[in-house]
A and B are shown apart, each in its own frame.
Chain A
Amino acid sequence: MQPVIYSLMPLKKHLHFLLLFSGLVFISACASYYQKLEEFNSNIEQGNVEKAKEFLANDKKGPEGKNKLLYFMNAGTLEMLSGNYAKSNEYFNQADLNIEDYQKNLGNEALSLVTNPMQKEYTGEDFEKVLIHYYKALNYVKLGQADEAIVECKRLNLKIQQLNDKYKKKNRYSEDAFGLNLMGIIYESTGDVNNAFISYRNAVTAYENTYEPQFKTPIPNQLKKDLIRTAYEMGFDDEGQRFEEKFKMKNVPRNPNTGELVFFWNNGLSPVKAENSINFSIVKGQGGYVTFVNQELGLNIPFPISNNDKSTGGLGDLEFVRVAFPKYLERKPFYSTASIGANNSEYPLELAEDINAIAFKTLQDRMLREMGSSLMRLATKKAAEYAMRDQNQNVGSLVGIVNAITEKADTRNWQTLPNNISYTRIELPLGNQEIKFKLRSFDNKTINEQKFNFVIQKGKTEFQSYQNFESQSYFGRTAFAR
């Protein structure tokens, strides 16, 4: 009897770990966030907004779980696309408050440390947080709620200031030129020319300093015109002249007997995150440090291994590890340019925000910073595995398998955003006006034409946004042109 009891003892001792670990396996799945939402994403990619909305409506856990921010952002986008601007803003307001009130849940942080970062609440990429206000502000404008639209501008400004303060100049996305430009456009539409001028001027600086060098998005000509016009309208003639010289263009004063249309084109779909594994070999150093080395990528990351007890192994025994990081996969849009036919002229739309470029660069920036926490996560898990293996070979191996399964990257992102945003401003005669919006494919073989009608009022600005989903490829799959 004695030996049996003896051999059961360590198993019993390990039982609660086993239970905990097997629980963790259930929480982790192998698919990326995009793949988990395959049905939802294919509906979006085919432009089937109603079907995608049905999918969200059936997601009962959506508004409460760890991905609630994504749920609200997706639901808000879809309602906006269906023209339900008030409903859309209900969702976006929830997303906005969720970001504002977010507090780290220490439990989930710790859980994510022993499993994977998908166990943490999704808190949004910086550019996603800014773009919520793009949709919200346009929704309010569409609803005729100018004061609310101004509130959005102010909230947008606070977000952009937070961005500046958070990164200073260390980050490639330290300011949002498009957000500033949008603020100007909305301020101007409400008659607040002074604040519009300030926003336009700040936007020009941000395009110059950040968007052009980092994301290859130069200052839109429309923005230059808007800045010069508002400078003169405010009576800041010195500023007006300065920018006329700088941009080599003349002020075109507003014709008081016309109205305006500002048209935003949301082209294609944002990139999606997938998992990327990097292998590190571990070089043991002096004084309680090990260095994680990947020669291919030229990475050398030192890591402290305090309390390294030789008898129990731990990090010091590791030789080789695999770490999972997120990477973006582009969904290259099908259309390359667009223009508007009105007043017997063609007005090209100009790129104002390249979401795809921003996404790739910000992730690249974050990579090194995230590597620290990824390695921390891995080290914690590996240390446990080796300690276990020291005690009991079988249990240790089991923990090793669990660790391999749970090593995952956070592949969540706002996947109903467009690939890029372009816009233009057109002066139109009063009354009923029809415009032709034309989309051109990269190969110039396909031209898609859509007609829009507006009732143009004197001195008023009409807003319209248009989203198309067509892409050349989705998550590695080639799409067929439609």
Chain B
Amino acid sequence: MKKTLLILGIASFTILSACKSRKVERIDPTQQTDLSGRWNDTDSRLVSNEMISDCMAKPWRTDFTAAKGKKPVVIIGTVRNKTTEHIESETFIKDIEKAFINSGLVSVVQAGDARKELRDERNDQQTFASENTKKKWGLEKGADFMLNGVITSIVDQYGKNKVVYYQVDLELTNLETNEKVWIGDKKIKKAIQN
């Protein structure tokens, strides 16, 4: 009887009780949080930190400025992803662009869809904007270098253990001469135990 009472008591009590409550808190975006072992924000940050410090320190920039007497202009090409994961390269590419611009030593010009949008707008201006405010064609700043790269990964797993190795390679190439002036890489190796 006691047992019956207990069972039914628990049942009727819990019927009245509410759901588990969900907890959400904001945390520092630079805090390392590893949950699944897949590519995450920490990996992206490691890549951008490494690339920025290496790229700004290497001689390509000062060589160019010494020869041409101006700051280099960079356009962002594609970062190809050869891994088995869908990786957004934009997160670290944007960090690099920002570092270039904020340093005041390297200029960056628009590329891709955003450039197409600008050209469409400039095209519209030729018809709709007043004579003294419309922007002229043929005055875009031509880039001196293109930044592109590739992300590769090697996955090795056995039983409950998995090792993922990522390598991000970025290259800066002279648009006139095809000369590679800088190669940066970041290697990340993660051991995941289930």
Q: Does A201 contact B (CB under 8 A)?
A: yes
Whole-angstrom distance between the Cβ of B35 and the nearest chain A Cβ? 9
Take A103-B20, A198-B83 as given contacts and tell me if A114 and B4 are in contact as well, using a CB distance cutoff of 8 Å: no
Does any Cβ of A come within 8 Å of B80's Cβ? yes
Contact indicator per residue, chain A 101-138, by CB within 8 Å of chain B (1) or not (0): 00111111111011000000000000000000000000
Knowing A103-B20, A104-B20, A105-B19 touch, does A195 contact B12 (C-beta < 8 A)? no
* Interface pair A110/B10, CB less than 8 Å apart: yes
Residue-wise, chain B 5-44 has the 8 Å CB interface mask toward A (1 for contact) of 0011011101111111010000000000000101000000
Binary contact track A294-318/B, C-beta < 8 Å → 1, others 0: 0000000000000101001010000
Chain B residue nearest to A202 (CB atoms) is B84
Given A107-B14, A110-B14, A113-B11, A198-B86 contact (CB < 8 Å): yes
User: B1–A390 contact, CB under 8 A?
Assistant: yes
Q: Is B81 engaged at the interface, CB distance under 8 Å to the other chain? A: yes
Is B3 an interface position by the 8 A CB rule?
A: yes
Interface string of A363-376 (1 = CB under 8 A from B): 00000000000000
Q: How far is the CA of A45 from the CA of B2 in the complex (A)?
A: 51
Measured as residues with beta carbon below 8 angstroms from the partner, the interface class of chain B is 20 to 34
Q: Does A165 contact B (CB under 8 A)?
A: yes
> Hey, what's the 0/1 contact readout for B175-194 against A, CB within 8 Å counting as 1?
00000000000000000001
CB contacts (< 8 Å) of A235 on chain B: these are 80
- Roughly how many angstroms separate A17 CA and B82 CA in the complex, as a whole number? 64
| Residues from chain B with Cβ under 8 Å of A387 in the complex | 1, 3-4
Do residues A201 and B16 form an inter-chain contact, with CB atoms below 8 A?
no
Chain B residues contacting A103 (CB-CB under 8 Å) are 19-20, 22
A114-B14 CB under 8 A given contacts A161-B38, A198-B84: no
- Which residues of A, 1-31, contact B by the 8 Å Cβ criterion? 17, 20
Q: What is the bound-complex CA distance between A113 and B16, given in angstroms?
A: 15
Chain B minimum-CB-distance residue to A235: B80
Whether A194 contacts B1 in the complex (CB less than 8 A), given A20-B8, A104-B20, A107-B17, comes out as no
- Once the chains bind, are B3 and A106 in contact (CB under 8 Å)? no
Over the window 423-460 of chain A, the binary record of Cβ atoms lying under 8 Å from chain B Cβ atoms (1 yes, 0 no) is 00000000000000000000000000000000000000
Q: How many angstroms between the C-alpha atoms of A309 and B20 in the bound complex?
A: 33
Interface size on A, residues (CB 8 A): 39
A378-392 with Cβ < 8 A to chain B = 380, 383-384, 387-388, 390-391
CB-based contact B17/A154 at 8 Å: no
A216 interfacial by beta-carbon distance below 8 Å: no
Which residues of A195-213 have CB atoms within 8 Å of chain B's CB atoms? 195, 198-199, 201-202
In the bound complex, residues from chain A placing their C-beta under 8 Å from that of B14 are 106-107, 109-111
- Complex CA gap A308/B84 in Å reads 54
A457-B161 Cα distance, complex, nearest whole Å: 49
Whether B1 pairs with A104 at a CB distance below 8 angstroms is no
The answer to whether the Cβ of A35 comes within 8 Å of any Cβ in the partner chain is no
Residue B85 interfacial (CB < 8 Å): yes
| Shortest distance between the CB of B94 and any CB in chain A (Å) | 18
Contact among B4, B11, B36 with A383 in the assembled complex (CB-CB below 8 Å): B4
A387–B2 Cα distance when bound, in Å, is 8
**Nearest Cβ in chain B — how far from A15, in angstroms?**
13
Task: State how many angstroms separate the Cβ of B170 from the closest Cβ of chain A.
Answer: 16
Q: Is the CB of A111 within 8 A of B7?
A: no
Q: Are A307 and B3 in contact (CB-based, < 8 A)? A: yes
Q: Does B36 contact A165, Cβ atoms closer than 8 Å? A: yes
Q: With A194-B81, A236-B82, A307-B3 in contact, do A106 and B17 touch (Cβ < 8 Å)?
A: yes
How many angstroms from the CA of A90 to the CA of B15 in the assembled complex?
31
Please state if A107 and B3 are interface contacts (CB–CB under 8 Å). no
Closest to A154 in B: B86
A24 to chain B, nearest CB (A): 9
Specify which chain A residues have a CB less than 8 angstroms from the CB of B86 in the assembled complex. Answer: 154, 157, 195, 198-199
Q: A17-B8, A107-B14, A384-B4 are in contact. Are A195 and B36 (CB under 8 A)?
A: no
Which A residues contact B (CB, under 8 angstroms)?
Answer: 17, 20, 103-111, 113-114, 154, 157, 161, 165, 168, 194-195, 198-199, 201-202, 234-236, 239, 307, 309, 312, 314, 380, 383-384, 387-388, 390-391
30 example contacts (A-B, Cβ-Cβ < 8 A) are as follows A17-B4, A20-B8, A20-B12, A103-B19, A106-B17, A107-B16, A107-B18, A108-B15, A110-B11, A110-B14, A111-B15, A114-B11, A154-B86, A157-B86, A161-B36, A194-B80, A194-B81, A198-B81, A199-B86, A201-B84, A236-B80, A312-B2, A314-B3, A380-B7, A383-B4, A384-B3, A384-B4, A384-B7, A387-B4, A391-B1
Q: A17-B8, A104-B20, A384-B4 are in contact. List 18 more A-B contacts (CB 8 A).
A: A20-B8, A104-B19, A106-B14, A107-B17, A110-B14, A111-B14, A113-B11, A114-B11, A154-B86, A194-B80, A198-B81, A198-B85, A198-B86, A239-B82, A314-B3, A383-B3, A383-B7, A384-B8
